[in-house]
Structures are given as structure tokens and as C-alpha cells.
Chains A and B, each alone.
Chain A
Amino acid sequence: MTMPPVPSRHALGRRLRSELFASPLDGVISVALIVGLAAAALGLGHWATTQARWAVIQANSTLFAVGRYPEPQQWRLWLLTTLLAAAAGLSWGLLRGLPRPDRPAQRWPRNDRLALLLLITLALLVPVSLKLSVVIQLRWWLITALLLILRWAAGRWAQRIPGHWQRWLPLLWPLLYLVGMVLISGGLGLIQVPSSDWGGLLLTLLEASFAILLCFPLGILLALGRRSTLPLLRWGSVLYIEFIRGAPLITLLFLGQNILGFLLPGGLAPERVWRAAWVLTLFAAAYVAEAVRSGLAAVPRGQMEAARSLGLPLPLALLHVVLPQALRVALPATVGQFITLLQDTTLLSLIGLSDLLFVAGTVMANPAYLGRNAEVYLTLAVLFWCCCAALGLGSRALERRLDPNPLPSS
């Protein structure tokens, strides 16, 4: 539609009219919605500022973050957070600083400026509103500053990095994961922190990341098995996938916690935390397999035939020709599964592992904070919402990046 150049106030008025009051019915709906929303927002605002007692969050922020992780050892988690921030800044900068085949490098696109603004606001506001001590506030600012400096530096000098370095840089993340595991659990000269002492956000993220990392390859194998021409592999995969998808997760978690001990000879069963992590992994793998299978189905048969006729053996044809196309199609559904997986970690609280929700229960049983359910649950909801929404946004960005026919260039 071509708009005649009119003063912006009129344009706004016209837009409001077409959006909200196009017909009498629309008008009624709009007015009702506006009144309802305003009342809800006012009520919530009134409650949050006058009735809610946020001290329950402020006083227990460490408990929510790491559970009963021993205080003298918490410097290890700070170190890990710093390393993660550095790696994130580096990767972010490189992602932007290196030119892509379809478009030149863009150092600060609009989305990045928005993210920057958000990051700085969060870093300034959250520690203050949680009433953290000055030392801890300072730590968060320094970590944020490190992230941003590395982002800037990597974006600026990305193209000077030699090519073979660039190829190996993604390996930074798996390496960091291993380093993180050592830092968290101990060993290599560090004091052991038993897994029963991990808790809160730390445990939630640990379980989710472990399961996400492992369920992906497992799901691909299962999907390939399900599409295989070999009957034993096919039926085995089908049986596994359908069995897992037919069972509620809480039953499987119960099975993992209480019956695995019967299935393995004494002492062989892993720690409770790891048992739950494996159950989550095996559970999610069945769902990821279905996502990948739909991706595989979207790849035309001719792709495989062409690859084989070029002399590629089956594994290589799968790896280099079929899977990259299939995974691109399967990406949104797969990330959807990852988000579900992150949410499913709350079920750990029902089997007595001290994840975020479990810590919330302990905090609310504390005599000083009895009945402060709403504050605690709302805070957890915001936390989970941010994590899941970030995963979703990341997936959409990756999807656009992997699209072979991006709109502007084609």
C-alpha cells in the first residue's frame, strides 16, 4: 500500500483505527480487551510493588543459583562463568566479523545492537535489584564487560585470524564443556564436590545441557535406524521410539531412580544425578529421532541416489549429502524438543533432585518465607521463560543463516 505523506499523528490514528476499530464488533472486542488487560496489569503492578515481599528471592539468590554447592569452592563456578562469557563473546564477534558467501561481514547489525542494549540493562539492573553485595555486583559487571570487549575485538580483527585457526575454533565449546565438568565436580587437584551437593540453576542447566548434547547424535542414529532397509535395525528403532514416546517421563524417571539398581549389579549404577541425566537423554532422543526423521523424509530420494552413483559409500553419502539437508529441515522441531527438555528438568524435583523447583520448595518451607509462593514461582517462570525464549530466538537465527535461498540474494 502506498501512503500519501501525511503527518505522523494522522498515520498513527489511521493505523489504530484499522487495527482496533475496523468494524463495530472489533471495536467492542478492543475496548473489552483494553479494559481487561489494563485491569490485570494494574493489579499485578499493585501486588508486585506493595504486597509482594521480594526478600525471599534476594536472601536466597545463592541457593537458587547453585543449591548447596559449598561456598569455599564457589570460585570455580565464577571462573566457569567467566570462561563461558569469554567464549560467548569470542564466538559472537567471529560470527559477525567473518564475511559469509551471500553477504559481507556486518559488525553491528540491528539485532546485535538490541542484544547489546538488553545485556547492559540486565547486567546493571539484575544484580542491583537482587541486592547482591557490592563485590558480587562488581564481578557481574566485569564478566559482562569481558564478554562485550571480546565481542568487539573479535568482530574487529576476525578476518586477520588465519584460516586453519578459524576451522578449529568451534572445538572451543566441547573443550570448555569438559573443563566445566572438571571445575564443577572436582578432580585434577581440585577438591571433589559430590553431585548430591549440586543444585538450583546449576543442576538444571547441567542436566539440560548434558541431555541436549547427547540426545542429538542418539536421535540421528535412531532416525537413520528407523529409515534403514535392514529389518532388525528398523524394527528395533521403531520399538524403542514408540515405547519411549508412549511413556510419561515421570514413570521413566522413577524407573531410572528406583529400579535401575535392580537391573545392574551392586554399585555399578551411576549417581542419582547422572541417572536422571541419562533418562532425560534417552527420553529426548526418541523425540529428536522423530524430528530428524521428518527432516530425512523431506530430502528427495534422488539426492542419495546421486551421491551413491558418484561412488560415495553409504556413510559418507549420509554424512555429506543427506544429513545436512535433513537437519536443516528438522532444525525448528529439534530445537523445540530441546526447549521441552529444558522444561522437563523441573520433573527432577518430583524424584528428590535439587533442581530449581525443588530449591523453591525448600525455600518456601523455611519459616521466614512461608506462603511466599507467588513471588518464588513468578521468578522461576521469568527465568525459564528467558532461557526458553533465548533458545527459540537462537534457533530462528540459525535457521535464517542456514537457509540456502535467503530472500535478499535470490
Chain B
Amino acid sequence: MSEAPLMQRPNSWQTAANARLRMARFRQLLALASLGAVLLVSGCASEDGGVQSQKLAMIKSRGKLICGVDGKLPGFSFVSSNGQYSGLDVDICRAVAAAVFGDPTKVDYRDLNSSERFAALASGEVDLLSRNTTYTLSRDAAGGNGLSFGPTTFYDGQGVMTPRASGISSLRDLAGKPVCVESGTTTELNLADQMRQLNVAYTPLKFQTGDQTYAAYLGGRCVAVTSDRSQLAGKRTSFPNPDDHVLLPDVLSKEPLTPASVNADPAWADAIRWTVYALMQAEELGISTSTIDSKLAEAKANPNLAELRRFLGVEGDFGKQLGLPADFVVRIVKAVGNYGEIFDRNVGPGSPLKLDRGLNRQWNNGGLIYSPPFR
């Protein structure tokens, strides 16, 4: 209780009344201010739906592309001992950077594990997900993960690797046995589906990272490890005795590995899509790092080569339509080569993985690599 002298009482009452009045005015002001803030925020948001890609504008102003990759997968994305990223997935990032900036080095790579990759993309953490991600309905649909997939860059299938000494020769032999899987991948689901069809009960051991999964397999905790066949082949090269491990003949699933961006920005997704198609079209037209200069000179000299001229940006405005420079194809090919070169260098004959082109041949060569026309 305050022991204020009598004299001061009316005074303090007055101040209190005054204060209440001021408080009321103050509240009104604050309410107005917060209303304004909310309007401002929502106003900014309503600009999102424009035709021009906001993402592309943001990337350009940032000066760097942020690309989500695996980072530990030989052949697809791997950090060498000198700190450089390389691999097929990485080359897709470099191609997009070359298309946007003309410089394939303007990329920040983020290593993502499989359980954080979609959240990282959805929250805008990365601009592009090029991380051996399988194209599926639930990941594409707006009611699912809501991603926007580009063209498939590697047609893969899920396989199972076992130690040669285990004597396992088919999926049925895995009954009651522990199998190591990386949690949050489609491989985990496919294995479950296949085994349910075969009515084979098995024990899945899930690990958060690929490192741990393979460490547990090599430690002898599981008699099998499952993943995409290309990934298994890549990992096997890093084992102490690669020949002690075999891939089972069973192919459990279709695994079209595909780069992805968010649904919300179709213009940015288009830029990615046509960057990848440019790689494929370049191979089909026989344009590679060694021939690009001569082809460009040829196109500039001969106005009759309309298709080549459009493709290389000598005429037409394909680049502009995508929000990219007119000669974006030339920049891409000069930076990373065509699709065939990327494949050979990273996973094909020019790499330790030595994978066959298989389904990843050009369409006119019996494969699935097929670019829609550039026109």
C-alpha cells in the first residue's frame, strides 16, 4: 500500500485518468500500425503469382545458385580431397549456373540427407534439388510434396547388394534376414512392397545417413543393403574388396532420378527443364565441348541452318522466353559439355563406376534420353 499524502491524491488520480486516455490512444495507434504491417506483408505476398520468375530474379540478385546435392555419392555428387564437388548431379547444378550466369562455378552446394531434402526445397533453403531423387506421383502432386520435376537425368532401378560369401542369390533368400536401408528413401518403400508381394518377412534396419547405412553393412550387421543400382555400384568401388560384393539380378523398381524445384514457381522450373533438355539436344546434334566453337561459327555463317541457329541462340528469342541469356545453350555446353560427356565423365567409361549407358542412351540409339524440339 502506498502512503501518499492526501494532497497528492487527486493529482495522481488525474494522471491515472489521463494515462488511461493516452493508453487508449496509444492502443489505437498500435492497432493501426500492426494492421498496416499485416497489409504490407500480405501485399508483398500477392506479387508472387506474376509471370516473371521471382526465384530467378532472386538468384540473379544473389549472384549464386544454391543447389541441394547428396555430397557423398561417388559418380553423382562427391567432394574430392581438395574440396571440389564433382559428379553427374553436380554437373546439372553447374549447367544451370552456366545458363543463368555464364559461369558454372557460381554455385553454393548444400549437402542434404534424404530426410531433409524436400523440406529444404519447400522452405526455399535450396533453389534446385539435384540429389539422385526419384520422380514419383506423391512427390510431384500439389497435395503431396508439391515438387516440380525436370527431365530425368538418369534412369536407374533399385537393386540389392550382398556379400558374395553369404550365398544369397535372390530376394527370397532374404527371409528373416536383416537388410540395411537409408531411412526416408523410396528404396525403403519399394523393398517393403516387393517383399510383401513375395510374402517374405525381413528385418529393415534404418539409418539416418548413407554413411551409417554402409558402415553397418560393412560391419556385418546386415546381409544385404538396398539402394539404386548405380549408387550400389558407386559405393562398391570404395569398398576394400569390391569383388567380395555382388548385385542381385532382381531389379525392384523404376528409379528415374530427376532434378526438382518447387511447384510455386513454374517459370523457374521451365528454365531448369530446358537447361537439361539442352544438354540432351546437344548430344543428339553432335555438339560437344570440342565441336561447339566450330558449330557456332558454322551457324553464324550459314543462315540456312535454322534449327542449329535457333538452338545456339544465333536467331530467335528462346533464351529471353525462359528469362535466360540468348546464348544460354552455348554457355552450358562450353561449361559442362553435352549429356553424353557428362555421363561418360562421371559414371560411364571415364569413371571408376564404369556403368553401361543402358536406358540412358539417346532415343535414336535405343534409350530413353529424348529432348522435345527446340522451337
Beta-carbon contact of B211 and A352 below 8 Å: no
Beta-carbon contact of B123 and A68 below 8 Å: no
Q: At the interface, yes or no: B111 with Cβ under 8 Å from chain A?
A: yes
Q: Known: A257-B116, A261-B124, A364-B211. Contact between A370 and B238, CB under 8 A?
A: yes
Select from chain A the residue with minimum beta-carbon distance to B44. Answer: A265
Using an 8 Å CB-CB cutoff, how does the interface string of A29-68 with B read, 1 for contact, 0 for none?
0000000000000000000000000000000000000001
Contact of A352 among B45, B113, B237 (CB under 8 A): B113
The CA-CA distance from A260 to B56 in the complex, in Å, is 22
Contact of A258 among B41, B116, B237 (CB under 8 A): B116
The CA-CA distance from A265 to B54 in the complex, in Å, is 13
Q: At the interface, yes or no: A259 with Cβ under 8 Å from chain B?
A: yes
Q: Which of A85-99 contact B (CB under 8 A)?
A: none
Select from chain B the residue with minimum beta-carbon distance to A268. Answer: B124
Q: At the interface, yes or no: B356 with Cβ under 8 Å from chain A?
A: no
CB distance from B81 to the nearest CB of A (A): 8
Beta-carbon contact of B83 and A68 below 8 Å: yes
Q: Which of B193-245 contact A (CB under 8 A)?
A: 208-209, 211-212, 214-215, 218-219, 237-240
CB distance from B350 to the nearest CB of A (A): 19
Select from chain A the residue with minimum beta-carbon distance to B45. Answer: A265
Beta-carbon contact of B124 and A266 below 8 Å: yes
The CA-CA distance from A312 to B112 in the complex, in Å, is 55
CB distance from B184 to the nearest CB of A (A): 12
Beta-carbon contact of A196 and B83 below 8 Å: no
Contact of B83 among A70, A266, A351, A366 (CB under 8 A): A70
The CA-CA distance from A267 to B64 in the complex, in Å, is 13
The CA-CA distance from A269 to B44 in the complex, in Å, is 17
The CA-CA distance from A261 to B208 in the complex, in Å, is 22
Beta-carbon contact of A350 and B208 below 8 Å: yes
Select from chain A the residue with minimum beta-carbon distance to B112. Answer: A352
Interface SS, B side: mixed
A-B contact pairs, 6 of them (CB 8 A): A70-B83, A260-B123, A265-B41, A350-B208, A366-B238, A370-B239
List chain A positions with a Cβ less than 8 A from chain B: 68, 70, 194, 196-197, 254, 257-262, 265-267, 269, 272, 350-352, 354, 361-362, 364-367, 370-371, 373
Interface SS, A side: helix
Beta-carbon contact of A365 and B211 below 8 Å: yes
The CA-CA distance from A272 to B219 in the complex, in Å, is 32
Q: Known: A194-B108, A261-B124. Contact between A370 and B119, CB under 8 A?
A: no
Beta-carbon contact of A367 and B238 below 8 Å: yes
CB distance from B71 to the nearest CB of A (A): 9
List B contacts of A254 (CB < 8 A): 116
CB distance from B80 to the nearest CB of A (A): 11
Q: Known: A196-B109, A362-B72. Contact between A370 and B41, CB under 8 A?
A: no
Beta-carbon contact of B124 and A267 below 8 Å: yes
Q: At the interface, yes or no: B120 with Cβ under 8 Å from chain A?
A: yes
List A contacts of B123 (CB < 8 A): 258-262, 269
List B contacts of A367 (CB < 8 A): 237-240
Beta-carbon contact of B218 and A352 below 8 Å: no
Beta-carbon contact of B211 and A362 below 8 Å: yes
Top 8 closest pairs, chain A to chain B, by CB:
A261-B123, A258-B119, A367-B238, A361-B211, A365-B211, A68-B83, A266-B124, A261-B124
The CA-CA distance from A354 to B72 in the complex, in Å, is 13
Beta-carbon contact of A370 and B209 below 8 Å: no
The CA-CA distance from A83 to B251 in the complex, in Å, is 59
Task: Name the residue among A194, A272, A352, A354 with the largest chain B CB count within 10 angstroms.
Answer: A352
Q: Which of B73-123 contact A (CB under 8 A)?
A: 79, 83, 108-113, 116, 119-120, 122-123
List B contacts of A361 (CB < 8 A): 209, 211-212
The CA-CA distance from A362 to B45 in the complex, in Å, is 41
